[in-house]
Chain A
Amino acid sequence: DVKVTQSSRYLVKRTGEKVFLECVQDMDHENMFWYRQDPGLGLRLIYFSYDVKMKEKGDIPEGYSVSREKKERFSLILESASTNQTSMYLCASVGDRGTSYEQYFGPGTRLTVT
């Protein structure tokens, strides 16, 4: 079974703090993704990475950055957290293009910025 784990299930941070969300997958997948999930908006892609040290902006990258130093780990960084970044953050991974493209999701981190 593919396992995608996220460092925290719940996180409360103050406005202006720097926030790190960590994601680790154990299936040697090339591609990893960060989404945020908000009611009525579905999943919106923040950033994705198709290889170590490679990243591409998704649909809503503003206010976020990412880091992929190792294949199994993909970090999402909020440089200066704001209240509009209160959301559920989901990490996902998927294998090479020759595979089924099924994304495997982590349990999510519910971030509250006060």
Chain B
Amino acid sequence: AQSVSQHNHHVILSEAASLELGCNYSYGGTVNLFWYVQYPGQHLQLLLKYFSGDPLVKGIKGFEAEFIKSKFSFNLRKPSVQWSDTAEYFCAVTLPYSSASKIIFGSGTRLSIRP
């Protein structure tokens, strides 16, 4: 079965540290890739997405992600984190096979930033 793996369940960083959150998926065909973020007490919202073209995708708030097809990966990065980046981050994949746009989510990574 198709799946999305986020191996880091909880990451703790100090402000200004660099961030990389891993995401791997298990599907050999064409995929659309997403990172969503959920700030404490808020809705899930889209951080960035990849459909085609340049594999390095820029998102909101200084985040970026790189699609590496050979590694089935879509890791999220940020060069210098802020306390306000404390949130839960979800990687997601859509598979273009069903009549609905079904998204498969990873289990999430909780990011805690020490001020």
Contact = CB atoms under 8 A, between A and B. Distances in A.
Interface of A: 30-31, 33, 35, 40-45, 48-50, 56, 58, 90, 92, 94, 97, 100-103, 105-108
User: Which secondary structure dominates where chain B touches chain A?
Assistant: loop
B60 interface: no
A42 B94 CA distance: 16
Given A100-B51, A102-B34, A42 B102 contact: no
A90 B44 contact: yes
B103 A101 contact: yes
B43 to A, nearest CB: 5
Contacts of A97: 96, 101
Contacts of B105: 35, 42-44
20 contacts: A30-B100, A31-B100, A33-B100, A33-B102, A33-B103, A40-B9, A40-B107, A42-B6, A42-B105, A42-B107, A43-B44, A45-B103, A49-B100, A50-B98, A50-B99, A50-B100, A58-B102, A101-B32, A103-B101, A107-B42
Contacts of A100: 49, 51
